[in-house]
Amino acid sequence: MLVRPRHTDTSTSRARDSIPFNDLRRTAEVDEDTAAAVERVVRSGWYLLGEETSAFEREFADYLGTDHAIGLASGTDALELALAALGCATGQEVLTAANAGGYSTCAARRRGLHVRYADVDESSLLLTAETVAQALTARTTVVVVTHLYGKMADVAAICDVCHPRGIRVLEDCAQAAGARTNGSLAGSVADAGAFSFYPTKNLAALGDAGAVVTSDDDVAESVRRLRQYGWGAKYKVQQDGGRNSRVDEIQAAALRVRLRELDGRNRRRREIAARYAQALADTSAQMVHTGEQDYVAHLAVLRSPRRDELAAALRAEGIGSEIHYPVPDHRQAVIGAPSVSLPVSEAASQQVLSLPCFPELEQWELDTICFVLAESV
Ligand SMILES: *Cc1c(COP(=O)(O)O)cnc(C)c1O
Q: Is the CB of 74 under 6 A from ligand 1?
A: yes
pLDDT at 1: 46
Compute, in angstroms, the gap from residue 177 CA to the centroid of ligand 1: 12
Does the Cβ of 76 fall within 6 Å of ligand 1?
Answer: yes
Residue 331 phi, psi (nearest 5) = -105, 0
Pocket test for ligand 1, best of 22, 72, 76 (most atoms within 8 A of CB): 76
Distance CA 303, CA 321 (A): 13
Cα 10 to ligand 1 centre (Å) = 37
Q: Environment class of residue 310 by beta-carbon count within 10 Å: exposed (0-12), middle (13-18) or buried (19+)? A: buried
Choosing from 79, 96, 103 the residue with most ligand 1 atoms within 8 A of its CB, the one to mutate for a pocket test is 103
Query: From the first residue on, what is the mean pLDDT of each consecutive set of 10 residues in the chain (377 residues)?
Result: 60 67 95 97 98 98 98 98 96 97 97 97 98 97 98 98 98 98 96 98 98 98 98 97 97 98 98 97 94 95 97 97 98 86 98 98 97 93
Q: Could you tell me the pTM of the whole model?
A: 0.96
The response to whether residue 171 sits with its C-beta less than 6 Å from ligand 1 reads no
Question: pLDDT at position 9, please?
Answer: 55
Rounded CA separation 158/325 (Å): 24
- DSSP of 11-62: TS-SPTT-B-S--HHHHHHT-HHHHHHHHHHHHHT--BSSHHHHHHHHHHHH
pLDDT score, position 15: 53
Cβ–ligand 1 distance for 101 under 6 Å, the answer yes
Atom of ligand 1 nearest to the CA of 210: 7
What is the helix (H) or strand (E) element at residue 352, kind and residue range? strand 352-355
pLDDT of residue 150: 98
pLDDT for res 13: 47
- Name the 3-class secondary structure at 104: helix
Nearest residue (CA) to ligand 1, atom 13: 174
Atom of ligand 1 nearest to the CA of 201: 1
10 Å CB burial of residue 223 (0-12, 13-18, 19+) is buried
For residues 377 and 314, the answer to whether their CB atoms sit within 8 Å is: no
Say yes or no: CB of residue 99 within 6 Å of ligand 1: no
From ligand 1's centre to the CA of 76, what distance in Å? 6
Q: What is the DSSP annotation of 55-86?
A: HHHHHHHHHHT-SEEEEES-HHHHHHHHHHHT
Q: Phi-psi category of 2—alpha, beta or left, where left has phi over 0 and alpha has psi -120 to 50?
A: beta
Centroid of ligand 1 to alpha carbon of 172 (angstroms): 8
Determine the atom of ligand 1 nearest the C-alpha atom of 148.
13
Q: Does ligand 1 lie within 6 Å of residue 208's CB atom?
A: yes
Total residues belonging to the chain: 377
Q: Give the pLDDT score at 22.
A: 98
Residue 210 in contact with ligand 1 by CB distance below 6 A: yes
Alpha carbons within 13 A on the beta-carbon side of 114: 11
Query: How far apart are the C-alpha atoms of 84 and 280, rounded to whole Å?
Result: 43
CA distance 124 to 282: 19
- Pick the closest to residue 101 from 269, 270, 307, 349 (CA basis): 349
Atom of ligand 1 nearest to the CA of 208: 7
- Whose alpha carbon is nearest atom 14 of ligand 1? 174
Query: Exposed (0-12), middle (13-18) or buried (19+): which is 343, by Cβ within 10 Å?
Result: exposed
Ligand 1 contact, 71 CB (< 6 A): no
* Alpha carbon 326 to chain centroid, angstroms: 17
Residue nearest to atom 12 of ligand 1 (CA): 174
The response to whether residue 325 sits with its C-beta less than 6 Å from ligand 1 reads no
CA of 95 to the centre of ligand 1 (A): 17
